[in-house]
Amino acid sequence: MANLKRFTGKTVIVTGGCRGIGLSIVERFANEGARVFALDYVIPESGTQLFDNEELNSLTSYLQADVTKEESVKAAIDEILKTNPKIEILVNNAGITRDNLVLRMTEADWDSVLSTNLKGAFICTKVLVRTMMAQRFGRIINIGSVVGTMGNIGQANYSASKAGLIGFTKSIAREFASRNILVNCVAPGYVRTPMTEKLSDDVKQNFMNSIPLKRLAEPSDIANVVCFFASDDASYLTGQLVHVDGGMAM
């Protein structure tokens, strides 16, 4: 990783930032000098310290919040605003899967996935965007998925939520462009995280067969592109979707 410090003085919120891709995004921003808050509904295994590293821990904090509940997100963001009056970057990363074939999928499985993956991004954006509008600066990066474009058997709820995020990204990119708030979507392919560890060997092998680069993504592969979108190098990009998928969805 290049030794850049592109985010010194910036405040970042990463939802679902306690593990997997979210934790890697938190780490990358902090390594580049940002003050980073991980919002998550579970308390990390390590307690409230996210890393085994004093410097990273001094730049990162964990706050408990459930992205599906506006009051919960608002309470966390109000807490952050007490010490950080500006919040420049939001990464809507929290996501869940409840996979099943449609004929076996329950309404509860449909609702919980749509609620976390799609409504959660709407709620966090709505709560934070006033602050971004007032400061006339904001970067919102939504974490989609390659299946939002390609579809996937057994993931009708999940792929619908991720396809919905693409429309959401483009709509709010248009809505907030005049306030210098840029909104983009990063859509990972198959990433090595706790979410994918629980997939069956068959499903894993099918994924591998469809990846031209013939390797899984590491969470840092996703964090690199998220940080690019948050950086000044991406200041003329909004409403864009980038697949970070080793070539799966070309």
Ligand X SMILES: NC(=O)c1ccc[n+]([C@@H]2O[C@H](COP(=O)([O-])OP(=O)(O)OC[C@H]3O[C@@H](n4cnc5c(N)ncnc54)[C@H](O)[C@@H]3O)[C@@H](O)[C@H]2O)c1
93 vs 48: CA distance, rounded Å: 19
Judged by CB under 6 A, which of 135, 196, 210, 231 binds ligand X?
A: 196
Active-site option among 62, 158, 190, 236: 158
Mask of contacts with ligand X, 109-128, x by CB under 6 A?
-------x---x--------
Contact by Cβ (8 Å): 119, 168 = no
Burial of 62 (0-12, 13-18, 19+ CB in 10 A): buried
Farthest-apart Cα atoms in the chain, separation: 50
- Asked if 116 contacts 94 with a C-beta cutoff of 8 angstroms, the reply is yes
Q: How many residues bind ligand X (CB under 6 A)?
A: 28
State yes or no: residue 164 binds ligand X (CB under 6 A).
Answer: no
Q: Quote the least distance from Cβ 82 to ligand X, whole Å.
A: 21
For residues 129 and 210, what is the distance between their CA atoms, to the nearest angstrom? 38
Give me the count of residues in the chain.
250
Residue 15 touching ligand X (CB under 6 A) = yes
Residue 184 sits in the site that holds ligand X (CB under 6 A): no
- Give the nearest distance from C-beta 152 to ligand X in angstroms: 10
Q: Which stretch binds ligand X (CB under 6 A): 82-90, 91-99, 167-175, 232-240?
A: 91-99
CB of 151 to ligand X, least distance (A): 13
Out of 11, 13, 20, 156, the only residue in the binding site for ligand X (CB under 6 A) is 20
- Of the residues 37, 110, 176, 190, which one makes contact with ligand X according to CB under 6 A: 190
Q: Does 68 bind ligand X (CB under 6 A)?
A: yes
| Pair 140, 125: CB distance under 8 Å | yes
> Could you say whether residue 95 binds ligand X (CB under 6 A)?
yes
Q: Which DSSP helix (H) or strand (E) runs through 30?
A: helix 20-31
Burial (Cβ within 10 Å: 0-12, 13-18, ≥19) of residue 25: buried
Amino acid at 72: S
The residues that touch ligand X, with contacts defined as CB under 6 A, are 15-16, 18-22, 40-42, 66-68, 93-96, 116, 120, 143, 145, 188, 190-191, 193-196
